Amino acid sequence: MARFFPQNGLPCLMPSSPFDSVRQVFRSVAATVVPEAVRLDEQGWTELEQIIAQALESRPAGLRRQLALFVRALDLLPVFRYGRTFQGLDAARRNAFLLGIQDAPLLLLRRGFWGLRTLIFMGYYGREEGRAETGYRADPRGWEAPR
């Protein structure tokens, strides 16, 4: 479902995030993958999610549903080990849990995690502020750009 999102003072049609139904869990996972993300305000989170939504816009709806389902599974799987959902864990246990998922014997879990991790990095560092944090100063003009 598309929605209006103000850009440069003008409304424009933006794709909806695949994580709308699991937004708080997604943000918890993203903040564990990129700890600097805890400093994001609502606008920063919206930008991050919109970058991901735009990247996934041309992908099949089934893939977007699978991503949301995977994020929901990431919230529930820690119950079997820690007795709490992902959101109920402290930062150290969240990190340990995700490290376990990235090295899980099930290929499907590893693929899901690495795909989600890549999307989170793209969303976080695809923002203007995220690029500035890294010091990355690439310019579409290449070497012609003033340094």
- Each residue's pLDDT tens digit, 95-144: 999 999 999 999 999 999 999 999 999 999 999 888 888 877 777 787 78
The first and second tokens of residue 135, run together, are: 């010091």
Question: How large is the average pLDDT for residues 56-65?
Answer: 92
**Please, what is the Cα angle at 123 between 42 and 28, to 5 degrees?**
60
pTM: 0.81
Q: Which long-range contacts (CB under 8 A, 24 or more apart) does 88-94 make?
A: 91/32, 94/28, 94/32
CB contact set of 47 (below 8 Å; sequence gap of 6+): 123, 127
- Each residue's pLDDT tens digit, 100-113: 999 999 999 999 99
- Each residue's pLDDT tens digit, 69-90: 999 999 999 999 999 999 999 9
- Helices marked H in 36-106: 42-56, 61-76, 78-82, 91-102
Of 3-12, 16-25, 83-92, highest mean pLDDT: 83-92
CA-CA distances (angstroms) from residue 55 to 77, 80, 143?
A: 27, 33, 28
User: Helices (H) and strands (E) in the chain — how many of each?
Assistant: 7, 2
User: Do the Cβ atoms of 31 and 38 come closer than 8 Å?
Assistant: yes
